[in-house]
Amino acid sequence: MNPSQNSIIIRLAGDSGDGVQLIGEELTITAALSGKEVRTLPDFPAEIRAPQGTVSGVSGFQLAMASEALFTAGETLDVLVALNPAALKKALPYLKPGGLLILNEDSQSTKDWSKAGIAEDDVPDMLEHYQVIHVPLVSETIKALEDVDVSTTEAKKAKNFYVLGLALWLFELDTSHALNFIKQKFKSKPEIQKGNQKALQAGYNYGLTLELQKQDFILHNMPRAEGDYRQITGVDAVAMALATLATETKTRVLVSGYPITPASAVLHAAAPLNDFGVELIQAEDEIASIGAALGAAYGGALALTCTSGPGLDLKTEMMGLAVVAELPLVILDVQRAGASTGLPTKTGQSDLNQALFGRHGEAPMPVLAATSPADCFETILQAFSIAVKAMTPVIVLMDAYLANAAEPWRIPDINTLEMPDIQYHTDEKPYARNEHLARSWNTPGKAGFIHQLGGLEKAGVMGEISYEADNHAEMVSLRAEKVLKVSDDYAPLSIEGDKEAEVLLVSWGSTYGSIQAARATLDIPVAHVHLKHVWPLPPDLEGTVKAYKRVLVLELNTGHLCTLMRAQYLVDAKSIGVCTGQPFTTTALVSAIQKEVEHV
């Protein structure tokens, strides 16, 4: 461990049934409560329970803690806890030389090594460069639970809390939050509650017996602005935004979806919010879920349909109808790596082209992209404000990383939040325009406002069906202009880093943190502009881009935004695109930027 380092990265890895995600979250919350900056990234297999002990079944949870601002969950591990050889095999390449490796001694039989595809003879060489601690995890846990009335199988299950205890000791974190969590979570099962608490305490005490220099793992606390905070994932931030919208606008909110990884988590998070006015339809398919959302919007509700890549394909026809019917609707796409089924649990930004262009005819829609887990809250609020103001469907892009990653969120003062300005029946002529070029939201049920909507081309003002050539041309440009006007409300772009540099980095969506981390280690000066609004592009982007000698566009795809910028601005922007299913790593980003800059 480098003593000058102000952050520590730990990964907990085990079988997908080992409870690794659970203790990862509790460790994170404890660290955040103690005043550390934290970022997390879970990594679980696509299969719910892949064969035990195999590499494909490994579930991991990565936590970065720091005494200063952090931007990502990091990439090089300082500490790895591997509960079996498969977890070791999968995660060891990320552990830095000299790093601390905690292994489960009870899972090191010949059979265990062979299941992971490791030759037992190679193990000493494998572990040579690390500081290794072998913990007899299962036997120690069973021993700790001797006087608790649980079966051996149940006792074994408590081993994750033993690991949590050990980790708390390592980072000098207080056990009280975790003990309280166990108390709450298992309150209906007193013996399990007692067993887990004992396991946690035993893990902590085991640490005390270790001869380990742990100064390296103790961080100072970081100064934080006054206020209430919570740990929040992107998915939770979406749910909180929906509850806020329903409560504050007193308008019913419908969430409609069909199970798909990783977007299903949004349905799970929305389901308990019924008392706040958030209602849920699990539809028969992706098309039905956007159809129901559009029907709800027609009826005057705030409607959101959520999906991931393959589902977005299926929803496209209905988006076109929403464009022509001019109804407000939010389509949330939690991107995952494709094409086709691709890597369902892995991240990427490869749906951008589809979000921008993936509809037949001329069907422009605003596209927003959340920039961090906590920013998903603000992004959803904004998406609805835009949808209602411009009477248009809006796409919000998240991704698998944003959905699951967590960070501390300063809970906003609700009074300061901007809510959609919802007004119905402002004009009895259904296709008359206001100053934003939007039409009136004429929901059914009101006398004097009867009209017929549909996907056929509309004549202006009265919305009659029209096959006229000139009218079609006018309506095509009117719908495009209406969407472009959305950018009138954008805040000015903020240029970060060295504004006087020759190099400008441009990025969007979930990569904000990774790029900030890369900037901090780059030894060449760069300016950086990060977009939340991908369509329409910010009006000041063109001038910004043209003020720099070199423009590099960084995306987790093959250069979608880069192509768009080149087409829009005729600039010689270069793409740095990565499609690994993972967020950018700092090392790879830094070297790619350096290579691009030096290779004039």
Footprint (CB under 8 A) of other proteins, residues 272-301: 273-279, 281, 283-285, 287-301
Rule CB under 8 A: say whether 422 interacts with other proteins.
no
Residue selected from 96, 451, 550, 566 as contacting other proteins according to rule CB under 8 A: 451
Q: Which helix (H) or strand (E) holds 143?
A: helix 137-144
| 3-state class (DSSP) for residue 155 | helix
Nearer to other proteins, 38 or 150 (CB): 38
Residue selected from 15, 236, 326, 378 as contacting other proteins according to rule CB under 8 A: 236
Nearer to other proteins, 137 or 237 (CB): 237
Rule CB under 8 A: say whether 454 interacts with other proteins.
yes
Nearer to other proteins, 295 or 538 (CB): 295
In whole angstroms, how close is the CB of 443 to other proteins at the nearest point?
8
Residues in the chain: 600
In whole angstroms, how close is the CB of 503 to other proteins at the nearest point?
36
The footprint of other proteins on this chain (CB under 8 A) covers a number of residues equal to 72
In whole angstroms, how close is the CB of 313 to other proteins at the nearest point?
15
Nearer to other proteins, 67 or 231 (CB): 231
Q: Which range touches other proteins (CB under 8 A), out of 7-15, 259-267, 341-349, 443-451? A: 443-451
In whole angstroms, how close is the CB of 215 to other proteins at the nearest point?
26
**Per-position b or e across 39-70, b if 16+ CB within 10 A of its CB:** bbbbbbbeeeebeebbbebbbbbbbbbbbeeb
Opening angle at CA 34, ends 58 and 67, nearest 5? 80
Site string for other proteins, 136-175 (x = CB under 8 A): ----------------------------------------
Q: Which residues contact 234 (CB under 8 A, 6 or more apart)?
A: 370, 372, 373, 376, 398, 402, 403, 404, 405
Nearer to other proteins, 471 or 487 (CB): 471
Nearer to other proteins, 189 or 410 (CB): 410
Check if the beta carbon of residue 429 is closer than 8 Å to that of residue 442: no
Nearer to other proteins, 50 or 290 (CB): 290
| 3-state class (DSSP) for residue 53 | coil
Check if the beta carbon of residue 22 is closer than 8 Å to that of residue 173: no
Pairing relation of β-strands 574-577 and 533-535? unpaired
Residue selected from 46, 69, 456, 524 as contacting other proteins according to rule CB under 8 A: 456
Nearer to other proteins, 391 or 564 (CB): 391
Check if the beta carbon of residue 28 is closer than 8 Å to that of residue 409: no
The residues that bridge with 369 in the sheet, in sequence order, are 397
Amino acid at 549: K
In whole angstroms, how close is the CB of 251 to other proteins at the nearest point?
9
| 3-state class (DSSP) for residue 559 | coil
Check if the beta carbon of residue 42 is closer than 8 Å to that of residue 11: no
Nearer to other proteins, 252 or 550 (CB): 252
Residue selected from 108, 175, 205, 247 as contacting other proteins according to rule CB under 8 A: 247
In whole angstroms, how close is the CB of 465 to other proteins at the nearest point?
7
Rule CB under 8 A: say whether 446 interacts with other proteins.
yes
Q: Which residues contact 81 (CB under 8 A, 6 or more apart)?
A: 10, 11, 12, 13, 102, 163, 166, 167
Question: Which two structure tokens, joined as six digits, stand for 226?
Answer: 């006054």
Count other C-beta atoms under 10 Å from residue 392's C-beta: 23
Site string for other proteins, 519-558 (x = CB under 8 A): ----------------------------------------
Residues 40-79 interacting with other proteins (rule: CB under 8 A) = none
d(CA 379, CA 385): 10
Check if the beta carbon of residue 325 is closer than 8 Å to that of residue 294: yes
Count other C-beta atoms under 10 Å from residue 554's C-beta: 27
Residues 173-232 interacting with other proteins (rule: CB under 8 A) = 224-232
Rule CB under 8 A: say whether 33 interacts with other proteins.
yes
Instruction: Say which DSSP state 94 is in.
Output: G
Q: Which range touches other proteins (CB under 8 A), out of 164-172, 246-254, 487-495, 499-507? A: 246-254
Residues 358-417 interacting with other proteins (rule: CB under 8 A) = 411, 414
**Per-position b or e across 172-183, b if 16+ CB within 10 A of its CB:** ebebebbbebbe
Q: Which range touches other proteins (CB under 8 A), out of 14-22, 57-65, 454-462, 490-498? A: 454-462
In whole angstroms, how close is the CB of 52 to other proteins at the nearest point?
30
In whole angstroms, how close is the CB of 411 to other proteins at the nearest point?
5
Amino acid at 425: H
Residues 293-352 interacting with other proteins (rule: CB under 8 A) = 293-301, 303, 317-318, 321, 325
In whole angstroms, how close is the CB of 96 to other proteins at the nearest point?
29
Nearer to other proteins, 304 or 503 (CB): 304
d(CA 142, CA 192): 13
Nearer to other proteins, 111 or 224 (CB): 224
199: nearest Cα among 223, 167, 238:
167
Check if the beta carbon of residue 511 is closer than 8 Å to that of residue 579: no
Count other C-beta atoms under 10 Å from residue 446's C-beta: 12
